[in-house]
Amino acid sequence: MQIREDGSVWPMIVCDWCKTPITDAKDGRVLWREIGRNPLNARCYPVYHTHKRCEDAFVENNKPSITEGVIHDPEFMPEFFPDGCVWPAWLWMSHGLDDDLERLLSTIKFDPGANVEKQ
């Protein structure tokens, strides 16, 4: 949170890689570790934020360790993988911060002009 000179408190998203504020949502990425291969499961995951320019470095420096293992899926596309397919135990997934904020705002009744002082 940022406390401004007038004493107002504003939310701020800080890049988890370079530790500087993401001031433009279009320049931000939202990342999470997807467990397994099914992106439609109903699990909740910790979320990280980066600038677009920082995403690759963040992912490269936060790779799964060899001890985090793999998942063997004998039922995935058996016509192509007769012995089953091996997946990493988790993968980095991401999308745009602006998309994430739009989804979040769609969950509330939001009137962007409601809190603006009339001049």
pLDDT tens per residue across span 43-102 = 667 899 999 999 999 998 987 765 565 666 666 666 766 676 666 666 788 889 998 888
> Angle CA(34)–CA(30)–CA(21) in degrees, nearest 5?
145
**Phi/psi of residue 58, nearest 5 degrees:** -60, -50
State the pLDDT confidence band at 113, using cuts at 50, 70 and 90.
Answer: low
- Return the number of other C-beta atoms located less than 10 Å from residue 46's C-beta: 7
Range in 1-5, 6-10, 56-60 the model is least confident about? 1-5
pLDDT band at 108 (very low <50, low <70, confident <90, very high): confident
Name 47's Cβ contacts closer than 8 Å, sequence gap at least 6. Answer: 30, 31, 32
Name the pTM for this structure.
Answer: 0.65
Half-sphere exposure of 69 (CA within 13 A, CB side): 4
Structure tokens at 119: 């001049």
